[in-house]
């Protein structure tokens, strides 16, 4: 048996299981916990003969990681700038209101 997916996302696991079963691929779930605990990863296993086809199906179903956009350091820099501007605005507003 070959591993095609390991995830803690129970909805994704069930979607993959149903899609593979719909294509006639026998699926084995290796859920060692025996319970539906959300933080325990589940392994989706298929036979060696169906592995390549199953991998293509899983690739279509599994979400791609979101693009990071700006690097974390750049986002942090702008967060600090915005925080400093907000503090400055509060100080100026307080000075105007208090006289």
Residue 32's pLDDT is 60
Positive or negative torsion for Cα 23, 29, 35, 39:
negative
Q: Which own/partner pairs from 14-19 qualify as long-range (CB within 8 Å, at least 24 positions apart)? A: 15/61, 16/44, 16/57, 16/58, 16/61, 16/62, 17/44, 19/57, 19/61
Residue 99's pLDDT is 64
**Cβ partners under 8 Å of residue 40, min gap 6:** 8, 31, 32, 33
pLDDT at 96 over 80: no
pLDDT at 15 over 70: yes
pLDDT at 23 over 90: yes
Token pair for 52? 């390549």
Residue 11 — very low, low, confident or very high, per pLDDT cuts 50/70/90?
A: confident
Residue 46's pLDDT is 96
- Which CATH code fits 2-61? 3.30.70.790
DSSP state of 52: H
Residue 95's pLDDT is 78
User: For 34-86, how does the pLDDT look when each residue is reduced to its tens digit (9 = 90+)?
Assistant: 556 677 888 999 999 999 999 999 988 877 665 556 567 777 888 899 999 99
């Amino acid at each position: 048996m070959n591993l095609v997916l390991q995830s803690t996302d129970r909805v994704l696991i069930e979607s993959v299981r149903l899609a593979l079963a719909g294509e006639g691929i026998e699926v084995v779930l290796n859920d060692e916990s025996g319970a539906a605990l959300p933080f325990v990863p589940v392994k989706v296993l298929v036979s060696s003969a169906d592995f390549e086809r199953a991998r293509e199906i899983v690739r279509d179903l599994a979400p791609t990681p979101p693009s990071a956009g700006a690097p974390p350091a750049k986002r942090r820099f702008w967060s600090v700038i915005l925080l400093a501007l907000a503090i400055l605005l509060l100080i100026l507003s307080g000075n105007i209101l208090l006289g």
